[in-house]
Structure 1
Amino acid sequence: MKIYKAAFTLALSVSLFTAVAQTKTAAKKPNIIIILADDMGYSDIGCYGSEIQTPNLDAMAQGGLRMTQFYNASRCCPTRASLLTGLYQHQAGVGDMMNTRNEPAYQGYLNQNCVTIAEALKAGGYNTLMAGKWHVGQSPEHWPVKRGFDHYFGLIDGASSYFTPTMPYRPKQKLTIALDDKEFTPGPNWYSTNEYASYAIQFIEQNKQTHKPFFLYMAFTSPHWPIQALPEDIAKYKGKYMQGWDKLREARLARQKQLGILAQDTKLSPRDSLVPEWDSLTPEEKDRFDTKMAVYAAMVDRMDQNIGRIKQKLKELGEDKNTVIMFLSDNGASNESIKGPGFTPAVLEASKKPASDPTSFTSYESLGANISDTPFRLFKHWEYEGGTATPFIAYFPGVIKPGGISSQPGHIVDLMATCLDFAGISYPKIYHGNTIIPTEGISLKPLFTGHTWKGHNGLFFEHEGNRAVRQGDWKLVSQKPANKWELYNIKTDRSELNDLSAKYPEKVAELTALYNQWANRAGVIPFEKLGRPIGVGE
């Protein structure tokens, strides 16, 4: 009898211990990581059709969920403001760039009627970490540590050399690398992509000692111009782009169809009007382009390598199975060039050097951007799919089923609600005495976990006079200065090649009214009516 009682007591103790352990495990809040690429096109990673080697992102896609119709705000600053706050960028105070204007929706830095994901999660018991590009407030009072981040390391500004990141490229410019709330002086052997990831890893290691969950916003500058890469990465790709842009775009589209990213009847948009016939180039011009593409590919490759480093550190710390990771790009590929009076004479000279030279300062322009945005039209800055569509990967072992692909439209405003949902934290109505604008986003957690997701009644876009609204399969879009609405059925015409506005004028009127309601609510001002900037930040 005594033996039986002892066995029963032992079994009960084990059962209670197991129950307590299970409760603790169930109650343990997940770490959350958002990884943001900079100026990377829709087709630039392997799991979205690229020939570029991105094994770490591909593994996350295979082990998680890919969203094929996820949207950003088509430009660096607006996307970052919207992503961080769960609001449209105008509501957060960054309706354009970091250009200071008198209009509140265009003041050029985050206002006090929004909260960042970091502020909301920190209030709920998270440690909050950031590495990389900030670009939503240049003055020290607007830096990341003033907007909820416990630790920060990275570039306050919009772009910089990857080897000498504080070197000005605009006249009268000052570029800042910061560690927490202090300016940081870069040392030798610097390469930005490596350095930002190294500090992120250091922050994660330090966080382990606190026994608290963490939020990491890993905002790479790669592959934003200037296109600069390490020699060993460039060597992998030199010569791979000599087949020319038409064949490269066709090959990427074929892979996208094979992967299930795009429908089998998706058509390739015509080669951009600024891009000539490949065979019209001289051998020297072909080699120059091949070099630029090899360098660009190397930048994406190196970013993926560093994502692998972060994932490896999570595994070493035993945090890999309790971390949700989301990856996306801030806008479509950039066709911007390094030309004109906006750059210093030294940078204009450096733009003439081969892209493989670490002292060069150049971009791949429309020639490369047209490949990166396969199969879409136009680029960063415009509201066509080429400007706003981003690859999106969600990865959470044991929670998100492997190998999923969703075509439901999602938007960067959803990331705030998604993070708070996973963390079990409510979105605040008041923060530091300020009334907070209700979030525009809808949590993606149900979609990630295989449940019904209601989605949005409409998604809205505006940047410097370029506009769009998407509702269901319909998308209304216009570009400045024509300002003429075009109508597309995204389900049957993802590349936006067949304007249906003349055929369905009632749908144009309906979506126009929907857009105007949103624009009034969000504080959008027609770009030509905006006041001149009273201060300019890059």
Structure 2
Amino acid sequence: MRMSTACCLLLSLIGFTSQDTLAADRPNVVVILADDLGYSDIGCYGSEIETPNLDALAADGLRYTQFYNTARCWPTRAALLTGYYPQQVGRDALPNLPGGARGGRPAWARLLPKLLRPLGYRSYLSGKWHVDGTPIQSGFDHSLTMDDHGRFFYPEKTTKDDVVQPPIPRGTDYYQTTAITDHALECLQEHAAKYQTQPFFHYVAYTCPHFPLHAPAADIVKYKGRYDAGWDAARQSRWERIQELGLVSGSLSELEPEIGPPYDFPAAIAELGDKEVNRELPWDSLTDDQRAFQAAKMEIHAAMVDRMDQEIGRILAQLKSMEVYNDTLILFLSDNGASAEIMIRSDGHNPAAPLGSAESYLCLGPGWSSASNTPFRRHKTWVHEGGTSTPLIAHWPNGISQHGALRHQVGHVIDIAPTLVELAGGEWPTSFQGHTLPPAPGHSLIRSFQSDTDEERAVWWLHEGNRALRRGEFKLVAAKGEPWQLYNLANDRAESHDLISGLPQKAAALQAEWERMTSEFESLRHP
């Protein structure tokens, strides 16, 4: 098989020979996506949660300190799989155009499996879909989707290869994070048996630690009492660890007691009772009952992250047993920051049920979300750093020579698709059915596998009226209905010191660029 130009370049950069790569010309790829995982929610990014498998990947690979998402689940998934901003492909709204989770993606915005199939790849999906269309129609060879987002123990809607499956009966030992992994292992085992001469792309999209807070009791008990000191103490401890690791410098963001969930569900707050807290209040201002209830919620969140790491360990073991671990690029990331949402859905909440069990329905809430997003401000749906900046781990023994290194360059989920197409030996398509395609806004990460790149780029955001643009060290950001603010992220990732009054020309230039890009995206949708 002929080695791709991209891989030849990469291997020449790091001095490997073709023999060193086990004669593989293109890597396998496993993309692991967590759901509502905050920046500091795993050990190698500052957490006290036990994540030895992810920590090992980071120790032998790379951690990106300034990697971004779209601030929300379905827009991020669209961006990851298409290589375009979700607003470009109808998966999120523009000021004068609708968009969202229910469709609108144009035919030219093909997903990664359709781009990788002509290059010889087989593609598999295990987990959350949340994209328009269906996986098999979109190019995946096998899929298991988790379409019931309110039940970890007995979901009522899943599909396998686009076929709706029976509901999971109550009283079984089913747990969704484990079921996702079971399917991933089935796909990998079949691939090893039937298609070992072909490379594969496996998209493992876990539904955790998204609400509801559901976890096996044995995992919860590991964290009993761990969070009794509260979110203030957790934030400070994580911040100290983040600085030790060299991930972020500057200062820790302040709590914002005036900021609550992004959506108001007063009936849910009333049903949950006085123990629930829907603001980032100082821990010592809470009652004893509130502190006990809140600490228990974080114990469950930690258990969900811990269980995900355990299941990732099973996938790594499978790759090793197939003898493809060294030539598999593994990327781990999150779809957005931790969530401040508080609501009750699906089967409701039984206050008499053990917290974290199937009959309970709890959400993390803004206090613990701020801890998960340490050291940043705000949460999922906001386009401040807390909503948009999350981990990216890259691990590939035969393609990444540095171990445990950090990458401080700016990256975004729109970079994943062009990176994988290039590694697969392909070129990004410029036309579709005779029509010229818009240039992909993403930047391949391949150069960054060897060193930080010094390129300056613009990264753009818009979600539910929250808007931002980052270019170089400066970020212009505004929450819905609020004026623009300007921050220098080189020394203020916490977005604490608004510079707009002192640098009006810089702010005006970034605003003009945000408006130009927004106009271009609207023109693309309605030329």
- The answer to whether TM tops 0.5 is yes
User: What residue number does 1:453 align with?
Assistant: 453
Deviation at 1:411, TM superposition (A): 0.5
User: What residue number does 1:178 align with?
Assistant: 159
Moved more, 178-187 or 463-472: 178-187
Query: SS state of the match for residue 63, structure 2?
Result: strand
Q: Say yes or no: does 1:112 pair with 2:113.
A: no
**Cα distance change of structure 1 residues 504 and 66 upon mapping to structure 2, 3 Å threshold:** same
User: What residue number does 2:422 align with?
Assistant: 421
User: What residue number does 1:382 align with?
Assistant: 382
User: What residue number does 1:407 align with?
Assistant: 408
Q: Deviations over 1:426-461 (max 9, x none)?
A: 1223456665433111110111123x6354520000
User: What residue number does 2:373 align with?
Assistant: 373
Deviation at 1:523, TM superposition (A): 2.2
Query: SS state of the match for residue 154, structure 1?
Result: strand
Query: SS state of the match for residue 368, structure 2?
Result: helix
**Cα distance change of structure 1 residues 505 and 114 upon mapping to structure 2, 3 Å threshold:** same
User: What residue number does 1:161 align with?
Assistant: 151
Distance across 2 between alignment mates of 1:23 and 1:367: 49
Query: SS state of the match for residue 319, structure 2?
Result: helix
In 1, are the aligned partners of 2:252 and 2:374 still within 8 Å (CA)?
no
Deviation at 1:129, TM superposition (A): 0.5
Q: Deviations over 1:110-145 (max 9, x none)?
A: 3212121111111211000011001012xxxx1111
Q: Say yes or no: does 1:65 pair with 2:62.
A: yes
Distance across 1 between alignment mates of 2:435 and 2:122: 22
Query: SS state of the match for residue 324, structure 1?
Result: strand
Root mean square deviation of aligned Cα: 2.3
Q: Which amino acid aligns with 1:179?
A: K
In 1, are the aligned partners of 2:379 and 2:387 still within 8 Å (CA)?
yes
Distance across 2 between alignment mates of 1:68 and 1:272: 27
What is the total number of aligned residue pairs between the two structures? 481
Q: Which amino acid aligns with 1:126?
A: Y
Distance across 2 between alignment mates of 1:212 and 1:424: 13
Q: Which amino acid aligns with 2:255?
A: P
**Cα distance change of structure 1 residues 500 and 21 upon mapping to structure 2, 3 Å threshold:** closer
Deviation at 1:473, TM superposition (A): 0.2
User: What residue number does 2:503 align with?
Assistant: 504
Q: Which amino acid aligns with 1:314?
A: L
Distance across 1 between alignment mates of 2:143 and 2:434: 25
Q: Deviations over 1:204-224 (max 9, x none)?
A: 111112121000111100000
Q: Which amino acid aligns with 1:416?
A: A
Identity value in percent: 40
Q: Deviations over 1:347-403 (max 9, x none)?
A: 1x4377552333111112112111101111110000100000011100001321111
Of 102, 105, 117 in structure 2, the residue corresponding to residue 122 of structure 1 is 117
User: What residue number does 1:75 align with?
Assistant: 72
Deviation at 1:522, TM superposition (A): 1.6
User: What residue number does 1:239 align with?
Assistant: 225
Q: Say yes or no: does 1:150 pair with 2:141.
A: yes
Query: SS state of the match for residue 31, structure 2?
Result: strand
**Cα distance change of structure 1 residues 105 and 43 upon mapping to structure 2, 3 Å threshold:** closer
Deviation at 1:329, TM superposition (A): 0.5
Q: Of the two, which has the highest radius of gyration?
A: 1
Deviation at 1:189, TM superposition (A): 2.1
Moved more, 108-117 or 39-48: 108-117
Distance across 2 between alignment mates of 1:37 and 1:77: 13
Distance across 2 between alignment mates of 1:58 and 1:111: 39
Query: SS state of the match for residue 488, structure 1?
Result: strand
Q: Say yes or no: does 1:312 pair with 2:317.
A: yes
Of 25, 28, 32 in structure 2, the residue corresponding to residue 28 of structure 1 is 25
**Cα distance change of structure 1 residues 492 and 186 upon mapping to structure 2, 3 Å threshold:** same
Query: SS state of the match for residue 50, structure 1?
Result: coil
Distance across 2 between alignment mates of 1:105 and 1:387: 18
Q: Deviations over 1:315-373 (max 9, x none)?
A: 0010100100011100011010115xxx46x51x4377552333111112112111101
In 1, are the aligned partners of 2:253 and 2:496 still within 8 Å (CA)?
no
Q: Say yes or no: does 1:50 pair with 2:47.
A: yes
In 1, are the aligned partners of 2:74 and 2:101 still within 8 Å (CA)?
no
**Cα distance change of structure 1 residues 126 and 356 upon mapping to structure 2, 3 Å threshold:** same
Q: Which amino acid aligns with 1:300?
A: V
Distance across 2 between alignment mates of 1:245 and 1:468: 28
Query: SS state of the match for residue 88, structure 2?
Result: helix
Distance across 2 between alignment mates of 1:152 and 1:195: 12
Q: Which amino acid aligns with 1:266?
A: S
